[in-house]
Amino acid sequence: WNHEETTALVRFLHDNRHEAGNNGNFKMATYQATTLHIANYCTDGPPKNYQVVRNKWTGYIYHNIKYYQAQPSGAHWDNKKGANIQGQHAKQVFKDFVKSHPLICQFKTSGWDLYPYVADIIPHGGACGAN
């Protein structure tokens, strides 16, 4: 996945967010339409099929951010500084989370330009703690 493909994926799903279920996931038809849309942005590797697109959304984008947001109090998220890890407690919370979600590492101290789109798609997309 290159940056352009990921951007096209997130923006397409955002434009079609009305098709998302209550859990923030989409039906196969939406993922299939997404594959046609992002094909124009593929620069390396084979074309993506609907399963690859679904896995990118559900396994990488959706779950990493949604699960991190649901961590107990002390798990911060904002679009400018990402997890903004500062202090021992925050470092430990993040370290423990990374053990089972290693792809979140890239957001340790920096945000993501596509986060506002993802937040619109994910139910209750704003960051929250357990308390």
Q: What is the pLDDT of residue 66?
A: 67
Q: Are residues 71 and 114 in the same domain?
A: yes
Q: Per the structure, how many domains does the chain have?
A: 2
Q: Are residues 49 and 79 in the same domain?
A: no
pTM of the model: 0.75
Q: Are residues 7 and 42 in the same domain?
A: yes
Summarize pLDDT for 81-91 with one digit per residue, the tens: 777 788 888 78
Last residue of a domain, one of 37, 56, 75: 56
85 occurs within a structural domain:
yes
Question: Residue 66 has which token pair?
Answer: 């949604």
Distance CA 69, CA 75 (A): 7
Q: Are residues 75 and 116 in the same domain?
A: yes
Q: Are residues 65 and 117 in the same domain?
A: yes
Q: What is the pLDDT of residue 97?
A: 82
Q: What is the pLDDT of residue 129?
A: 44
Half-sphere exposure of 24 (CA within 13 A, CB side): 19
Contacts of 100 (CB under 8 A, 6+ apart): none
Q: What is the pLDDT of residue 35?
A: 96
Burial 73-100 (b: 16+ CB within 10 A, else e): eebbbebeebbbbeeeebeebbeebeee
Q: What is the pLDDT along the chain (131 residues), one digit of tens a residue?
A: 888 999 999 999 999 999 988 777 899 999 999 999 999 998 888 889 999 999 888 877 766 666 776 665 556 677 777 777 888 887 888 888 888 877 777 777 777 888 888 888 876 544 444 43
40 occurs within a structural domain:
yes
- Whole domain around residue 35: which residue ranges? 1-56
Q: Are residues 17 and 67 in the same domain?
A: no
Q: What is the pLDDT of residue 123?
A: 65
Q: Share the mean pLDDT of the chain.
A: 81
